[in-house]
Structures are given as structure tokens and as C-alpha cells.
Chains A and B, each alone.
Chain A
Amino acid sequence: MLDVTNDVVLSLRNVEVAFPLRKGFFAKPGLLRAVNDVSLDVRRGEFISIVGESGCGKSTLVKTLLGLQPATAGTISINGKDLGDYSRKELAHQVQPIFQDPYSSLNPRKSVAANIALPLILSEGLKPSQVRDRVLEIMEMVSLPTRLEHTYPSQMSGGQRQRVAIARALITRPKILICDEPTSALDVSVQAQILNLLRDLSRRLNLTSVFISHDLSVVRHLTQRVAVMYLGRVVELGESEHIFRTPRHPYTQLLIRSILPPDPEHRLPPVAWDGGGPDPTNPPSGCHFNTRCPYATDICRIERPPMVEAEGVRVACHAWSDPEAWRAANGEIPQLS
């Protein structure tokens, strides 16, 4: 069992990341709230997933967690200390990324060893021989033969490159890994190798991982807690198993219904176009999901639902704020059919 202690390694409180929008020369500048009031605690050793589709804000959240994009409101703290208080070099020892595209996450003009060593060179003043030792050590840890030291990324397959990216992320011995869709661009058989590797390393090094993905079957297999995001807000948060077995938020239910299992008995539901994802620069009022929600009522269009605790899971949905009242008023409570 993955060792999950109770100390909180990463904490987000009411984090907002907003960008000014110019809507034409004479219009008032609008605001794109890519990340909108997100609160989250991540415990040491935990694998937490952030799930959502395009426009949900997960890419912006990744940048913010890596310190590349300052939050416009709210606080982010790592090991109790505010993100902004860390120097860049210190931060390199706390958080490291693994990106999605193995073809653009490595510098093609540098050898594998040079790519892997970069965070170490930038943040620690080690002698070249010491750097090399650390590089070889980490290469073995990710099952990359050390004879590949002087090869170039262009000679390698996607899976091998992703191992190089993982090695680079781990060389400074960070506490937190931010994995942004690390296997989405890989073949299925390679994906399995990399996921096993991530899980194995996470255990050995007692890493905490924030795992962003749109692939719910990977999420279910690998992570313990899930946060579902929609247009910048967290709409559901809780243990993976609870969320997958009984999803509460209608958007989560929609996501789960959209999974295509490798099972020929699975039938595609009849097509019902719901207008698709709305424009993030002009989100619907009240609950952002109301335009696509089969259970939406008036209050959903006016008021933003608060985050409430419902049976061990946190949901932001008016129906779940007061289930009894909802059932009485509207009959049906959102559930996975």
C-alpha cells in the first residue's frame, strides 16, 4: 500500500489565476479566470489526479504550481512555506515537471546526459564528475541503459524519451512531481511501462504526485484522489473509488459515461448534443455547467454552488448542497444512470 501520511505537502487555498482580456478597443477589458477559487490539500506520498477537458484550467494550474505563472489571488504553500518565498534554486528541489509531449520536452541539441543533468547544473554547484555520477545513478533508476548517455533525443522512441524526462525531473530529488498528461502521447504498451515506472519510483522515493490527465481509466488505476475541474473550478474532489463508483457532480457523471472500455458489449449511448464546452472567456453565470446540465434549475443559473461535503466527497452542486430539499423540489438527484 502506498504510504500516505497525514502531513500536507502541497496546499492550495482559493487560488485564482486570471488573465486580462481585451475585447476590442472600446470595450472594457474582461477577465479570463483560468483557475478560479481552487482549494486543495495534497498529502505526502499521495497520487492525486486533476481531471478535466480543454478549457478547464489544468494547464494553467500546472504552470502556477511550477512557479512559472503567478497566481493572481489565493495562496499556494509547499511544506508550509509560501511558493513565492522559495528561491528558484530551492524550488527546483521541491517541484519538478514531467510534460506530455516527449518530442518537445527534451532539448534536441543536447545529449541525453546533458538534458538530464540540467536541473542539477542550474541549482547545485557540483563538479562535473559528481554531476555525471548522479546522472548515471538516475538513469539506472528509470531503467535507461547507461550506454545511452551520449545519445541524442532524436535517436530515441517516445517511451525512451519520456524516461529521460522522468530522470531529469528526479535528479534534484524533488518532493513533488507535477505530471502533465505524461502518457497521453505514448502508445498503449509503452504507457503501461511508464505508469508502472512512475508508481514504482513514487513508492521508492516517497514522492507526492499531482497527475493531470483526461484518461479516466489511467486515473482510476493509478491515483488515490481525484479533483474534477470544469472551467477553472473544482467541481468534485474525493477518493478515486468513491468518485468512480458513485460520481455526484453531473459533469463527473458525463465524463465517466464517456469512457470507452475495451468491451464489445459496451454500447454507445444515443447522440445528444449539449452544445459542447462553453467559451472560457464568457462562462455561463451561476454554476458554469448549467448550460449542459440535465438537472439544472433556476438557482443553478443565478448562484454559484458552494463546495459541500457529501458522503466523504466534496461536490460543488446545488443538488448536493441539500439533497432532501432538492429531491422534494425536483424529483431526481444527479446520478450515474
Chain B
Amino acid sequence: MSNAPAPLDNMDLPMPSPRQQSWEMAKRHAGLQIGALIVLIALIWAIFAPLLAPSDPYVQDLANRLAPTVWQEGGSWEHVFGTDGFGRDVLSRLIWGTQVTMVVGFGAAVISGIVGTTLGMLGGYLGGRIDALMIFVINVKLAMPGVLIALSLVSIFGGSLLSITLILSLLFWDRFAVVTRTATQQVRTREFIAAAEVSGASRAWILFREILPNILNQIIVIGSLEMGIAILIEAALSFLGLGIQPPTPSWGILVSEARDTMFFMPHLIIIPGLAICILVIGINLLGDGIRDITEPQGRN
């Protein structure tokens, strides 16, 4: 009896599946929940802007300029956050502005993510001369003053949504590349990679089917950080008048336009500023939270 293979009944699994574990952790992770909520609201605003916004963000109502907010004296529910210097409803402009913010933020993070991750993985896995080349290119990029170059490029190519997104994505790929390169180097020493190589896996297979799923964690964290930064830089560019051009509502433009009335109608500058702040914090919380709950549930 003692020489028989382990009886089937004793093959219990002490640990729940990774998915279950992640779900359990998610239920308890306040940061993740808050972050997810914020990002979800932003997404809903961005997608359903035409339905949610109480009025057209472009329509001017010069008779009703600088109307007070609903909680101030004389305010009404027609303009919850009041109106701006041209009589346009602030809330509507805020909601429509979410579109710009999300497209730029998400787009820049995704594009730079794809570029940076691919380069980082290639360098980390292939090593040797290709890796040396990657490092060289990354170093060149790191040495360049990013924002300055972005400004020059914007002045050349103009401030359309597409060009801003592409230009900003050029700024961030190096961070992805550095992190994924190191992460790839660590994963490639693990024995399951050797087992796949022995069985004839092509390089592409190993990179995208074996290594990538195992470094996704780190990519998500960097991605969320970069998305937050992209949003901030877009706002800064708009603020400087170099990014998205008015009258397109972008949160940066809202902040910029509110400069003139900053001292006697501070809510006009605080509201978009706060929106930027909350969204960036939300994105970071979400990224951290996802990283926390998907940490490899490794050794027992």
C-alpha cells in the first residue's frame, strides 16, 4: 500500500485558483474599487457625452455669462457648475472634455506601451548586439528633453487630437522599454522558457505567448502611471495654448480660460483642475490595485 501512487483523494488543492484569489483580494481592496469607480465614471462621461451633457458645450449665451453655480447665490439647476466667460455651460464642457482627456491619455499610453514593450522584450530576450542597440536607443531617448521636444513637434504639426496623441506617445515609450527589458530578462531564465524552446517554440511564440503574459503586471503599472502623466501634459499643453485648440473643450483649456476670472470666480478654475487631479489619482489607484491583485500567487 505504501508503494502505491498517492491516492487520488489526497490530491487536494490547498489554494483557490488565481482568478478566485484575485477576486477575493479585489473585494477587499479599497484603492482598487475607488480607482475603478473614478475611471468608470470618466469612461461613461467620455462615451455618453452627447447624452449626459445638459447642453451643447459650444453654444454661447452672452446674456448669461459667468452665471453662479447651483450652490452659490442666484444659481440654478440649469447650470449646475455655472457658465464660463462666454455663457457656455461648464458642466457640459467638463463632460465633453473627458473625451479629449481619455483619448489622449489612453491613446498615448497604449501606443507608447506597444512600442516600448516590443523594443524592451526584444532587447531583453535576444540579448547580445540587439540588446546593446536597444540600450543605446533608450539612452539617447532618455537624454532628450521630452517636453521641450513635444512642444516643438506640436508647433510644427499643429494641435489636433491625433497629432497630440502621437506626439505624447513618443515621450513615454522609454519607460516601458526599460521596465519590460528587465522583466523579460528575469522571466527568460525561468525553466519553462527552456522547456518551450526545447519543444520548438519560435521566438515570436516565446515572446508573446510565454513571456508577455508574465510581465503584463509591470506593464499595467507603468501604463497607468504614463496615462496619468499624459493627461497632465496634455492639460499643460492646452493651458499653454499649444495643445488642443479652443473652442474644443479640453480640461486644460478650461483651466486656461478660467485664468482671467480666477480671483473672483475661483470655482471656474478649481473644477477642471480638480477633475484632472481626481482622474489621475483614480488611474493610479486602479493601476496599483490591478497590480496588487494579480501579483503572481507564487510559492505556497
Q: Is the CB of A92 within 8 A of B213?
A: no
Query: Are A97 and B198 in contact (CB-based, < 8 A)?
Result: yes
Q: Answer whether A104 and B198 are a contact pair too, CB < 8 Å, given A144-B11, A151-B13, A154-B298.
A: no
Which residues of B sit under 8 angstroms from A103, Cβ to Cβ? 298-299
Judge whether A193 is part of the interface by a CB distance below 8 angstroms.
yes
List A contacts of B190 (CB < 8 A). Answer: 104-105
Name the distance in Å between A228's Cβ and chain B's nearest Cβ.
25
Name A96's contact: one of B15, B198, B297, B299 (CB within 8 Å).
B198
Tell whether, in the assembled complex, residue B297 and residue A67 are in contact, meaning their CB atoms are under 8 Å apart: no
Check if B73 is an interface residue, CB within 8 A of chain A: no
| Known contacts A119-B199, A154-B297; A99 and B213 CB within 8 A of each other | no
Q: Is A66 in contact with B194, judged by CB distance below 8 angstroms?
A: yes
Q: Is A197 an interface residue (CB 8 A)?
A: yes
B267-300 Cβ-contact flags toward A at 8 Å (1 or 0):
0000000000000000000000000000011111
Query: For residues 217 through 269 of chain A, which have their beta carbon under 8 Å from a beta carbon of chain B?
Result: none
**B window 1-39: CB within 8 A of A:** 3, 5-6, 8, 11, 13-18
Closest-by-CB residue of B relative to A66 is B198
CB distance from B288 to the nearest CB of A (A): 20
The minimal Cβ–Cβ distance linking B215 to chain A, given in whole angstroms, is 10
Knowing A108-B296, A143-B5, the reply to whether A154 touches B194 (Cβ < 8 A) is: no
Contact flags B74-87 to A (C-beta < 8 A → 1, else 0): 00000000000000
- Asked whether A337 is an interface residue with its Cβ less than 8 Å from the other chain, the reply is no
Interface size on A, residues (CB 8 A): 47
Q: Is B200 an interface residue (CB 8 A)?
A: yes
Q: Is the CB of B13 within 8 A of A67?
A: no
Closest to B16 in A: A155
How far is A66 from B190 in the complex, measured between Cα atoms in Å?
16
Interface residues of A (CB under 8 A from B): 63, 66-68, 87-89, 91-92, 95-97, 99-101, 103-110, 115, 118-119, 122-123, 143-145, 148, 151-152, 154-157, 159-160, 165, 168-169, 172, 193, 196-197
- Chain B: residues with CB nearer than 8 A to chain A? 3, 5-6, 8, 11, 13-18, 190-192, 194-201, 205, 210, 213-214, 296-300
Add 18 more A-B contacts to A118-B199, A152-B17 (CB < 8 A). Answer: A63-B194, A66-B194, A68-B198, A97-B198, A99-B191, A100-B191, A103-B298, A104-B192, A105-B190, A106-B192, A109-B214, A118-B196, A122-B205, A143-B6, A155-B14, A156-B13, A157-B14, A172-B199
